[in-house]
A and B are shown apart, each in its own frame.
Chain A
Amino acid sequence: MNEYNPLEILSDKKVLCVEDEEIILNNIVESLELFFGKVVGVKDGLEALDEALGNIYDVLMLDISIPHIDGLEVVKKIRQVNKKIPIIILSAHTEQEYLWRAVELKITRYLTKPYDKNSLIKALEEVALELVDHRPSFQISAEYTYDYCRKTLSCRNETIHLSKSESRLLEYFLKRPNQTITYEQLFEYMWEFEQPSKEALKSIVKELRKKIDNGFIKNLYGVGYVCEV
């Protein structure tokens, strides 16, 4: 548990990247694809707002000087509906005016262009830790611990591996303990584009229950699940 790489938390996460300069956008997207499960790149403020409000993203990365709506304005609108999503600002502006506006928006990191690799990595780590509430592992019960970085469970010094969809689902549950989670939420989260099916969902839950010998995922008949921790 000592040596973990928080960046691995990101490996099944989805990030939206907004940058109007095509070459920079392409390169950032390519770079981010090395860390994230899914990267979407858009070029202007309107698109960014559409995308961020219409789909579920785990992380946002924005430039400020983008056409139509400036990056900070986009963030402001997103913050009205989502207070938690970690945001990285990537900008050439270092004027006070921008920094003040950024501070109010609870930005995770403000990277100035041209940025260097280390500050990007640092920012990504920060984002990753923020995603897991700065707890890279989660104590599910007395015996079971979930490691966000390795996406594995450990039980009495034994490591249990999880499939990608299993860990993704588990993280979703762990993030919302003791809350009602509907099938629809899960469908949207797990299968963005594919046709979702209850059977597939049920089989993943079944696998999870098998691996974690614990009744912590409860059925709510006809509605969904609740995760009791």
Chain B
Amino acid sequence: MRYNFKIIIALFVVLYAIITLLFFNFYRELAMKDARQEAFFVLDTMNAIRDYVSVVQRPLIEELKEKKMLARDFFDPRLLSSTYITRSIYDIQRLKKNINYDYKLVAYNPLNPAHEGNEFENEILDDFKEGKYQEYSRIIHENNAPYFFVGLPIRNSDTSCMQCHTSNSAPKRMIEQYHVIPSFESKVGDVIAMITFKIPVVSILTYHVKEFIVGGAVMFIVFVVFILFLYKIYRSELRLQEKNKMLMMSQNRLASMGEMIGNISHQWRQPLAQVSSILINLELHSEKDKLTKEKLTQKIKEASEQLSFMSHTIDDFKNFFTPSTTKHEFSAQEVVSQAKRLLSASLEKYAIDVHVEIQDNFIRLGYRNEIVQVLINIMNNAKEAFLANVPERQERIIRIRAFLASSMPILTIENNAGNIDASLIETIFDPYVTTKESSSGLGLYMSRMIAEKNGATLRVDNTDDGVIFTIIF
């Protein structure tokens, strides 16, 4: 998995936030629209009631007055004032419903001072009068709280209105009640007032809170399930990766085991040949009866020297292969000479000179064998490059330097075995990249991993006639 799981999750959280925001916004819009619809509906009903009062109720009252069934100066707002009736109906509705509709009628020169509009309301009333719009709905801010404001105009719908709203024709009882009757200075059909609803946005939202919660919860659950799903995929990917890594490790270990066995056999070939030549010599002498006691002693001594050398070699390799579980201090000199010693036989066989130059014998804390392994990997690669590119008669040199560059400990391993192909040098540390037929392509990959595990970085560059590996601790 090249991409970072955390980044993906972060991306999804952001996406989720955006979607949630959009969702709530959408839902809010929907709620507003709903509220507006409802408000208009109620207001329309109010207007219809007003019309009913003007067109049906008042003429009926007049008729009853004509027929002397009512007193000539009868006036009761409960029967005759459309404004009064609508307000009463509103109050009843409000009692039944649990909605915070703030109902208000705003008029010019109202009979009831409660119907005096504020600056904002008068502005809208003016706009209605001028016919700028037929209805008004907007979110307004009052005392830092948002309100949903809906307004509808009231028209001077019937001549019957004029009767009461003109001082000289108003019923006596009405004048007694209101004292001053401002006149409608308008014709039938003119906008004389408006009815408005003001609802706190919060209460709209509160009204819809269940839907909000359910919607949000569903989205959240879907999101969480999605993330869990992703996480599961990520985990299995991780496990696969881990498995792969283990496989690579064991492949690499097998490969380096093979190489090591090759090295051991190189180291042993010489002493084996020596012991064998000693034994043959002894046997031949004995056959010819020419084996003196002195000769036997001397030959046994020679042979046992070789055997102890072989045993020493195998110990060297055994130490190298024992996995170290704790970090130890080691010096540059130590690791370099150990790597060189382990490879000495094959290096000698292929006439490869190793020049070691310890300018600063720095001390590091880490897994010493692992660093040795990195050196061995690199030197083995160099050896193979020499075999492929440099004939034996030419100089084959591996130069190992240890030094401090601005107090940074650095080990470089340089060879003159030819360059690495420019197209390959970028990927040389990737697993399964190799230039050799018989190689697993894991050596350098593992070397870099090991270096990183030991807090070092490993890089490679081409030189004039070879390559240089740099380990920066």
Binding site for B on A (CB under 8 A): 21, 23-24, 27-28, 30-31, 34, 65, 92, 113-117, 120
Instruction: Please state if A117 and B280 are interface contacts (CB–CB under 8 Å).
Output: yes
Complexed CA–CA distance, A34 and B273 (Å): 20
CB distance from A133 to the nearest CB of B (A): 26
Look across to chain B and name the residue whose beta carbon is closest to the beta carbon of A113: B273
Instruction: Please state if B288 and A24 are interface contacts (CB–CB under 8 Å).
Output: no
Instruction: Please state if A120 and B278 are interface contacts (CB–CB under 8 Å).
Output: no
Instruction: Please state if B280 and A27 are interface contacts (CB–CB under 8 Å).
Output: yes
Please tell me if B302 contacts chain A, counting CB pairs below 8 Å: yes
CB distance from B269 to the nearest CB of A (A): 5
Look across to chain A and name the residue whose beta carbon is closest to the beta carbon of B350: A65
Interface centre among A21, A23, A113, by most chain B C-beta atoms within 10 angstroms, is: A23
CB distance from A103 to the nearest CB of B (A): 20
Instruction: Please state if B281 and A30 are interface contacts (CB–CB under 8 Å).
Output: yes
Having A21-B273, A116-B276, one finds 18 other A-B pairs with CB under 8 Å, namely: A27-B280, A27-B299, A31-B277, A31-B281, A31-B285, A34-B284, A34-B285, A34-B290, A65-B349, A113-B269, A113-B273, A114-B269, A114-B272, A114-B273, A114-B275, A115-B276, A115-B277, A120-B280
The contact size tier of chain B is 20 to 34
Q: Which of B275, B288, B302, B349 is A34 in contact with, Cβ under 8 Å?
A: B288
Instruction: Please state if A114 and B277 are interface contacts (CB–CB under 8 Å).
Output: yes
Binding site for A on B (CB under 8 A): 269-270, 272-278, 280-281, 283-285, 288, 290, 299, 302, 306, 349
Complexed CA–CA distance, A23 and B274 (Å): 6
Instruction: Please state if A23 and B280 are interface contacts (CB–CB under 8 Å).
Output: no
Complexed CA–CA distance, A54 and B271 (Å): 32
A-B contact pairs, 13 of them (CB 8 A): A21-B273, A23-B274, A27-B277, A28-B281, A30-B281, A30-B285, A92-B269, A113-B276, A114-B272, A114-B273, A114-B275, A116-B276, A116-B280
In the complex, chain A residues whose CB is within 8 Å of the CB of B281? 27-28, 30-31
CB distance from B279 to the nearest CB of A (A): 8
Look across to chain A and name the residue whose beta carbon is closest to the beta carbon of B393: A70
Complexed CA–CA distance, A116 and B285 (Å): 15
Q: Which of B274, B283, B284, B299 is A24 in contact with, Cβ under 8 Å?
A: B274
In the complex, chain B residues whose CB is within 8 Å of the CB of A23? 274, 277-278, 302, 306
Complexed CA–CA distance, A31 and B280 (Å): 8
Complexed CA–CA distance, A65 and B270 (Å): 12
In the complex, chain B residues whose CB is within 8 Å of the CB of A30? 281, 285
In the complex, chain A residues whose CB is within 8 Å of the CB of B306? 23
Look across to chain B and name the residue whose beta carbon is closest to the beta carbon of A118: B280
Complexed CA–CA distance, A30 and B277 (Å): 10
CB distance from A149 to the nearest CB of B (A): 16
In the complex, chain A residues whose CB is within 8 Å of the CB of B278? 23, 27
In the complex, chain A residues whose CB is within 8 Å of the CB of B280? 27, 31, 115-117, 120
CB distance from A76 to the nearest CB of B (A): 15
Complexed CA–CA distance, A21 and B276 (Å): 13
In the complex, chain A residues whose CB is within 8 Å of the CB of B290? 34
